[in-house]
Amino acid sequence: MQNTAAPTPTHCPYCALQCGMNLAPVEGGGVEVRERTDFPVNRGALCGKGRTAPAVLDRGARLTEPLVRGADGELAPASWEDALDRVASALAGTRAEHGADAVGVFGGGGLTNEKAYTLGKFARVALGTSQIDYNGRFCMSSAAAAGTRAFGLDRGLPFPLEDVPRTGCVILVGSNPAETMPPSLRYFTELRERGGTLIVVDPRRTRTAEQADLHIAPRPGTDLALALGLLHLVVAEGRVDEEYVAARTTGWEEARAAAMAHWPEYVERITGVPVPQLREVVRMFCEPEAAMVLTARGPEQQSKGTDTVGAWINLCLATGRPGRPYSGYGCLTGQGNGQGGREHGQKADQLPGYRKLDDPEARRHVAGVWGVDPDSLPGPGRSAYELLDALGTDVRALLLMGSNPVVSAPRAAHVEERIRSLDFLAVADVVLSETAALADVVLPVTQWAEETGTTTSLEGRVLLRRRAVTPPDGVRGDLYVMRELAARLGVEKGFSDDPEEVFEELRRASAGGLADYSGITYRRLAAENGVFWPAPEPREAGAAPHPGTPRLFLDRFAHPDGRARFVPVAHRASAEEPDEEYPLLLTTGRVVSQYQSGAQTRRVAELNAAAPGPFVELHPRLAERLGVAEGDRLAVVSRRGRAVAPARITGAIRPDTVFMPFHWYGEGRVNTLTNPALDPVSRMPEFKTCAVRVERSSDA
């Protein structure tokens, strides 16, 4: 079935590793994945999701014509003209009747940079609403907030992954790359082969933890206390890098005092991690010349996520790690364009270039690029959960792109209720997701290999995804949708459906911002296999292009004085702790064969066969106490609802904790249970811990 046409080099549609792959045409149409070894991050390796990615292009699973809900309440095929007219008229009508902020926009961390940029501009210029946010708020927003607070700049990894094997010790906190991004595991394997050590902090003995030199399993929601206890020991054992602290940071005395209030024995009581293990972590982390802490959703998806990540950053700063070779703090971002998705303006408080929406100079600059009056730009809006919670009340119409909150939002049954109560919902998607199925208008859009666009990987490496196949008839691009809607809303100029043209404008809008893309072009991305931002355009004509910045902070941090900030933090309990009625903790996460809300991967036969449904992981002692056998149907009940799934009994989890993956809808939808309590800084919901009880489903 092979064709001789040259394969197209591109990147995987799924996670933030953005593995390189070649797509080769096959006889009869379609493409197949071929190895692409020239992309250094994965060097040809792919996980099952990447290998089977062409299946998501399959027409059988695709939406190929717009759908409009008729008077009978059913979705029925419609022409593009009719569907776009209906959306524009509903958004304009809502705006006229209730004001611009009654129209909401919800984006996604999987949208390309061009789409994320255009969506932010569309909300603020074509609709004039402040009510825009995106699902990345649920992903790494706490790490972004903590990184900005400490370093003055948030780039998930301030160094390339190739630095991982060259360090002496990595502490992976609440991260399971063996399942979330398997090809990245080689960096940790190589680290150990070179004599470095890997410490994994996770309440579960995950596939990643199995490969660690040391696995410590704190109670969910106590990572903040854990980091404080480690910092206490660093001080007590005289391991602070005083010279570095004096030369490159501010705020140490306050942070030191806060840590000294967290005695190791006190921390042991909170976390369940024995003091000797705490001492061992400190020894392993402090002895090598270079070391790093990498966090993921475990510490971040908490109602104290920003302070939790901040505590780990304080540990790194006190030991002199950030801004030194092969050292520092980094966040392993999850979604495909999780990094770029947060830089270009689809976030409630941001403008392109990672500028703040309430900064007058930023507003002037971006308004200048957009050709509008800075005073016409709305101010910051609600964060993602707050926006979803306001649907049907203050926010009466919603345009949603690249997200499936009915499955992925916390307190999902409530969110579904709010969505159902809207006056009008329009969804642009590639498949009829659970959220799209509730829409008044569904717009079928192109995806991944059917279009060209850029993404920014977890390393801050801007990449070019190239079009490799012709989209199905009847499908249009998200950029086309926004251009057409803007025109119908009276904004005829300033919206293009040509991705390169949009990227050229994005370059200008980002110029001078923290995430400066102005020196990056499609031509460079194609020739150089990606460019790390910031990469400003040289001021002098004819000067050599900026090479990009793989490693940040080597000379200075991004605060005006060039110093990193310690922020004093203290332990606090999770928003919901176990009690008599709900005596257990629930934590959630991913499995290797599914991705996020499962909208794409549940439609891929091979992946679905490998991971067909949710399950409840519980410890044998808990199972015995509850009289539960392997495979029994269990109801997990929280204050917000119940989810039902079969038992999976394993000694790899704490006896006080149960785990469920979050990729499914229906009776096993775990986000029915999760807690929307928000972090006060990042507005991240507390996905990672809530109080539950577990019952045999037949008893429930």
Q: Which ranges in 170-296 belong to alpha helices (H)?
A: 177-180, 185-193, 223-236, 242-248, 252-260, 264-271, 275-286
What's the rounded Cα separation, in Å, for the pair 514 and 537? 13
- Three-state DSSP at 387 gives helix
Minimum distance from residue 187 beta carbon to ligand SF4 (Å): 12
Closer residue to ligand SF4, CB minimum distance, 12 or 636? 12
What's the rounded Cα separation, in Å, for the pair 614 and 593? 12
- Three-state DSSP at 194 gives coil
In sequence order, what are the residues at sequence separation of 6 or more whose Cβ sits closer than 8 angstroms to the Cβ of residue 665?
406, 407, 434, 598
Closer residue to ligand SF4, CB minimum distance, 17 or 432? 17
Judged on CB neighbours under 10 Å (0-12, 13-18, 19+), 542 is exposed
Residue nearest ligand SF4, CB atom distance? 50
Closer residue to ligand SF4, CB minimum distance, 109 or 220? 109
Minimum distance from residue 11 beta carbon to ligand SF4 (Å): 7
Minimum distance from residue 40 beta carbon to ligand SF4 (Å): 13
Closer residue to ligand SF4, CB minimum distance, 318 or 332? 332
Minimum distance from residue 327 beta carbon to ligand SF4 (Å): 25
What's the rounded Cα separation, in Å, for the pair 424 and 559? 43
Closest-CA residue to 568 (of 227, 258, 299): 258
Minimum distance from residue 527 beta carbon to ligand SF4 (Å): 22
Closer residue to ligand SF4, CB minimum distance, 333 or 675? 333
Minimum distance from residue 399 beta carbon to ligand SF4 (Å): 27
Closer residue to ligand SF4, CB minimum distance, 12 or 398? 12
Tokens in use for 74? 């059913």
What's the rounded Cα separation, in Å, for the pair 149 and 680? 14
Closer residue to ligand SF4, CB minimum distance, 447 or 496? 447
Closer residue to ligand SF4, CB minimum distance, 12 or 407? 12
Q: At what angle do helices 305-318 and 223-236 cross, to 10 degrees?
A: 20
Per-residue burial over 199-229, b = 16 or more CB atoms within 10 Å of its CB, e = otherwise: bbbbbbbbebbeebebbbbbbbbbbbbbbbb
Closer residue to ligand SF4, CB minimum distance, 47 or 425? 47
Closer residue to ligand SF4, CB minimum distance, 42 or 672? 42
Q: Which long-range contacts link 371-374 to residues 24+ away (Cβ below 8 Å)? A: 371/493, 371/494, 372/125
Minimum distance from residue 14 beta carbon to ligand SF4 (Å): 3
Minimum distance from residue 18 beta carbon to ligand SF4 (Å): 5
Minimum distance from residue 232 beta carbon to ligand SF4 (Å): 37
Cα angle value 95/101/106 (rounded, 5°):
105
Closest-CA residue to 587 (of 309, 174, 274, 268): 174
Closer residue to ligand SF4, CB minimum distance, 180 or 682? 180
Element (H, E) at 522: helix 522-528
* DSSP character at residue 557: -
Closer residue to ligand SF4, CB minimum distance, 164 or 217? 164
Minimum distance from residue 463 beta carbon to ligand SF4 (Å): 11
Minimum distance from residue 48 beta carbon to ligand SF4 (Å): 7
Minimum distance from residue 181 beta carbon to ligand SF4 (Å): 4
What's the order of all strands across the beta sheet hosting 20-25? 8-11, 20-25, 31-34
Q: Using CB under 6 A as the criterion, which residues of the chain lie in contact with ligand SF4 when the complex forms?
A: 12, 14-15, 17-19, 42, 46-47, 49-50, 181-183
Closer residue to ligand SF4, CB minimum distance, 25 or 338? 338
- Measured on CA atoms in the order 412, 414, 420, 426, is the torsion positive or negative? negative
- Three-state DSSP at 178 gives helix
- Three-state DSSP at 449 gives helix
Minimum distance from residue 164 beta carbon to ligand SF4 (Å): 15
What's the rounded Cα separation, in Å, for the pair 654 and 221? 13
- Three-state DSSP at 63 gives coil
Element (H, E) at 616: strand 616-618
